[in-house]
Amino acid sequence: MIDRFERNINNMRISITQQCNLDCFYCHHEGEKNEGAGVENGHLTPPEIEKITQIASQVGIQKLKITGGEPLLRKDIVEIVKRTAKHMKEVSMTTNGVLLKKYAGALNGAGLKRINISFDALDPTTFQRITNKEFFYEVKEGIESAICAGLYPVKLNMVILKGVNDKDIQVAMDYASEIGAVLQLIEFEGSKEESGNSIFKKHYLNLRDWENWLKSRSVEVRQRRMHRRNKYILPSENDGKAEVEIVRAMHNSEFCQNCTRLRVTSSGELKPCLLKNDNLINIIGPIRKGASDKELKDLFEYAILKKEPYWRA
Ligand code: SAM
């Protein structure tokens, strides 16, 4: 479906739990600030998640990304992937990787296509500093398991935090290219209010200079329609190539103008924008009350019409 800003809303990001086994100091929790509409009745169940996905497909959504919290904490994660994959062209996931070794093969078998793994630290000390946990080696094993299981592409999400991991970008590029993964450099993101807080002021780094550096060394640049994100292909050691994508959202009106995503919170609300919480539409209540497909589709259309760019020129 096309929204008021002529964007074709064709992808959805659903959070299936607020629980996480890491405690990253910079985390935006997918923009979830409150307990939400469905929380008193527990998690969205696999049939409810499937219903939401099925209705989403009726308004033109073709790609789904499963997120959290940490999605692999859900014991029914393989069933969730299997059910949603029936309705989407592509189902992917973003995970911190801690439990991935256990699940990579089964997720691939259930229909998961691609995977993003959070990878902010190149060593155990930095990992502990960022996540407050000691699972560095589990995550590395998880990354390798995803590659072995045939999930493709594997993207390593590295949120760049000034004074913490910005010195490790080149090492991360080398590691990603060595294992055949794409490195995604993500700018630390927050709302207008959050960008005034002390953590943000201390660790925010504008990635413009890194993007220029990549541009100057790349042999090829590809642009994704979503957010107009650029992917740079660079030569790497041993005649290989490194693929690096940049996600620069802060104060970026072009990024928002090209946002084609609708979100669903873990408590069952349609969420038009990561950084806004005053325009949520409860979808799980009507599902639990037996609303018809037509009524649910109307709610999706209403949510899509509420989408508006957060950062504007
Ligand atoms: N636990 C899963 C994971 O680690 O991928 C899913 C949830 S996590 C919120 C999803 C992604 O958002 C991760 O790659 C994380 O690094 C990124 N993220 C979290 N807070 C962020 C922030 N303030 N700015 C930019 N990216 C952020």
200: enclosing H helix or E strand = helix 198-203
Query: Would you say the CB of residue 118 lies under 6 angstroms from ligand 1?
Result: yes
Ligand 1 pocket, residue 188 CB under 6 Å: yes
Regarding the beta carbon of 28 and ligand 1, being less than 6 Å apart is answered yes
Q: How do the domains of the chain map onto residue ranges?
A: 11-305
The amino acid present at 172, given as its one-letter code, is A
**What integer pLDDT is reported at residue 33 of this predicted model?**
75
Which helix (H) or strand (E) segment holds residue 130: the answer is helix 124-131
Q: Which 3-state string (H, E, C) describes 36-84?
A: CCCHHHCCCCHHHHHHHHHHHHHCCCCEEEEECCCHHHCCCHHHHHHHH
pLDDT at position 240 is 80
Q: Is 200 in the pocket of ligand 1 (CB under 6 A)?
A: no
Banded pLDDT at 41 (limits 50, 70, 90): low
Does position 237 have pLDDT exceeding 80, yes or no? no
Give residue 39 CA to ligand 1 midpoint distance, Å.
Answer: 21
Distance of CA 181 to the CA centre of its chain: 16
Question: pTM (2 decimals)?
Answer: 0.96
**Over 60: is that where the pLDDT of 38 sits?**
no
Query: Ligand 1 centre and the CA of 290: distance in Å?
Result: 33
Please work out, in degrees rounded to the nearest 5, the angle formed at the alpha carbon of residue 109 by the alpha carbons of 52 and 178: 110
Tell which one of 28, 138, 202, 203 to mutate to probe ligand 1, the residue whose CB is within 8 A of the most ligand atoms: 28
Summarize pLDDT for 62-114 with one digit per residue, the tens. Answer: 999 999 999 999 999 999 999 999 999 999 999 999 999 999 999 999 999 99
Neighbouring residues of 91: CB distance < 8 A, sequence distance ≥ 6:
63, 64, 65, 66, 81, 84, 85, 111, 112, 113
Does ligand 1 come within 6 angstroms of the Cβ of 94? Answer: yes
Q: Cα of 294 to ligand 1 centre, how many Å?
A: 34
Per CATH, the number for 11-305 is 3.20.20.70
Dist. CA 144–CA 242, nearest whole Å: 17
H/E stretch holding 236 reads strand 230-236
Q: How many residues does the chain have?
A: 313
29 CA distance to ligand 1 centroid (A)?
A: 7
Dihedral over Cα of 55, 57, 60, 64: its sign: positive
Residue type, 234: L
